[in-house]
Structure 1
Amino acid sequence: MPEPEDELGPKIADAFQTKADAVRGLRERGLAAEARRRIRKRRQTLIAGAAAVVVAFSIGGVWGAIGGPSPIATSQDSSSSAGGSAKEAAPEVPATVTPCPEQHPVLTAGGHEAVPLGTGLDLEMPVYGLQACRYRVLPDNTMLLGSQSFNATTAQQIVDAIKVLPERNPDLPVFKCAPELAKPSEAIVLRFDTASGIREVWVGYDGCASAGFFTGSRTYGLYAAPLKLFMKGTVRPTEGTYLDHLEGW
């Protein structure tokens, strides 16, 4: 028997409402699931990106905005470059100081002015250090009396102070003495380190024949300015014929 029309209407409406609720529930659950999926995917992307950055920094690269590595100079490259520049800029400097020899040609040369050929210093050459050697040069008494080392700065100052001097100091006396008295009792040898090896300047301040700085090719007068730069410690004489008439040394 057919149902009355007034009862059929509400049932149809309830059925549609139930279907709609079911569809809405499915849609909401789907949207929620999709949202959770997207959140998981975004989290995974962020984790993967962070891991990539860690790896990039661990191998020394820095990633730019487009994802490419920006090269950074390593300490080895920098040191190699700096080392090459320093090697080109710095002159060859002797690594060690050569000590004063116990037996030196000045002991037998017959005078502080007799510098052997090829031994003397060209005062225009750069110098990198100095060993000052004071010797007793009497025929029956020869020995090393003292020595003193100086760095490149002081060595160059001594050279600069010598090379501006005239050939003779006119304030010093000219002695007339017998040959046996003319010989000095001591002399100083300045042994300079250069790129060509040891080069010397012999210094005469005793006896009565001559005084000054001798290179074998040039003679420079005896003045106090260079003397006071290296006459220190055991290199400093207690007296000398010309020193007794020279002030300021």
Structure 2
Amino acid sequence: MPEHDPEQELGPKFTSAFQSHADSTESPRALGLVAEARRRVRRRRQAVMSGAAAVLVVVAIGGVWNVLPGSSGSNSETASSAGDSGGKVTSGGAVRTQEAVPTQPPFAPTGCPAAHPILKAPATNAVPAGTGLDVATPVSGLLACRYDLKGSSLLGQQQFSAAVAQQVVDAIKPLPEMNSALPVFKCAPQAAQPSEAIVLRFTTAAGIREIWVEYTGCNTPGFFTGSHTYGLFAAPLKLFMTGPVRPSGSTYLDALKGW
């Protein structure tokens, strides 16, 4: 049997109450039924309006996942949005902007070559064509390489900043072709050969450019670029003859002061 619903009986009673009220407003029972009917009608109207308002709120904010607890819809949508924009999603669901990858700085010159052309050159002034430094060229770094010419080995190397590199070039640039204050030696051809030399490897916009420095033996000492010769003076030497690049002495260095 269907369950008895007391409110189903109110329909006829409401009709009777309104009819009685229309017939006689003085009946206490009729007045009570009318008041009860109006109260229930207002309650149902409020319930309907509240339900409709709740539906509008749900629709306005984009879905029922904001109402139901434990929903994972917001996290998944956030992760999808972050993936499309290149961001990363943390464990708490927050989006973290992907960090920019820093650009690679320009490479500094690598170490001195073990088999440098100066080791096999006929003379320390025989700088190969196209490799010598034009002293009017701006430089941005310097690697000084000291070689044992008789043992064909690297004795030491030293890296210098762009500022020091430019100072070395500026100190060489105004030098004459020969330092007349240095002694002139007369010796056998074998003894005239230099025992060591320094190669100055400058960093320029066009690549590595070199100046070869001779300060041993009996040949004319100086700075050689392949197209020009500069005399051996102390002003440039004291800027780069430091640490493992500094010789203990030589025939010309012993006669030169201030290096």
Normalised by the length of structure 1, the TM-score is 0.64
Taking the aligned partners of 2:33 and 2:137, their CA distance within structure 1 comes to 108
Verify: 1:27 aligned to 2:35, yes or no. Answer: no
Kept in 2, the 8 Å contact 1:133–1:189? The answer is yes
Report the counterpart of residue 204 of structure 1 in structure 2.
Answer: 214
Aligned-partner Cα distance in 1 for 2:195–2:24? 143
Q: Which residue of 1 aligns with 2:155?
A: 146
| Alignment correspondent of 1:238 | 248
User: What CA distance in whole angstroms lies between the structure 1 residues aligned with 2:52 and 2:25?
Assistant: 40
Question: Which amino acid in 2 is paired with 1:248?
Answer: G
- CA shift, 1:212, in A, is 1.9
Which one-letter code corresponds to 1:241 in the other structure?
T
Between the two structures, name the one with larger relative contact order (CA 8 Å, sep ≥ 6).
1
Query: Shift in Å at residue 17 of structure 1?
Result: 0.8
Which of 104, 108, 112 is the equivalent residue of 1:99? 112
Inter-CA distance 100–162: structure 2 relative to 1 (3 Å threshold): farther
The alignment's C-alpha RMSD in Å is 4.1
Alignment CA distance shift 1:145-1:193 (3 Å)? same
Aligned residue number for residue 113 of structure 1: 125
Residues 75 and 156 of structure 1, relative CA distance in 2, 3 Å threshold: farther
1:17 aligns with 2:31: yes
Q: How far is the alpha carbon of 1:25 from its aligned partner?
A: 1.7
TM-score for both structures, normalised by structure 2? 0.62
Q: Distance in 1 between matches of 2:228 and 2:38?
A: 114
Alpha-carbon distance in structure 2 between the residues aligned to 1:10 and 1:195? 111
Give ranges in structure 2 of 5+ residues lacking alignment: 1-22, 67-72, 86-96
Q: What is the CA deviation profile of residues 183-228 of structure 1, one whole-angstrom value per residue up to 9, with x for unaligned ones?
A: 4332212234556554321101223442221101122232334323
Give the total of aligned pairs.
217
Deviations 1:144-199 (A, max 9, x none): 25121415536733553444332246573242534545443322122345565543
Amino acid at match of 1:166: L
On the 8 A contact 2:139/2:202 being kept in 1, the answer is: yes
Range that drifts further, 212-221 or 52-61:
52-61
Whole-Å Cα distance in 2 between the matches of residues 123 and 108 of structure 1? 25
In structure 2, the CA distance between the partners of 1:199 and 1:164, relative to structure 1 (3 Å rule), is closer
Instruction: Map Cα deviations across residues 4-63 of structure 1 (whole Å, 9 max, x no partner).
Output: xxxxx988432541342133223322233134324533553466468587666441489x
The amino acid across from 2:114 in the alignment is: P
Q: What's the % identity of the aligned pairs?
A: 38
Query: How far apart, in 2, do the equivalents of 1:127 and 1:151 lie?
Result: 11
CA distance in 1, matches of 2:25, 2:107: 113
Which deviates further from its counterpart, 126-135 or 214-223? Answer: 126-135
Any stretches of 5+ residues in structure 1 without a counterpart? 1-8, 63-73
Asked if structure 1 preserves the Cα contact closer than 8 Å seen for 2:145 and 2:158, the reply is: no
Residue 147 of structure 1: SS of its match in structure 2?
Answer: strand
Out of 211, 221, 236, the position equivalent to 2:231 is 221
8 Å Cα contact 1:125-1:194 kept in structure 2: yes
Which deviates more, 52-61 or 107-116? 52-61
Amino acid at match of 1:117: A
1:135 aligned residue: 147
Which range is displaced more, 208-217 or 28-37? 28-37
The separation in 2 between residues aligned to 1:150 and 1:11, in whole angstroms, is: 113
1:145–1:234 CA contact under 8 A, matched in 2: no
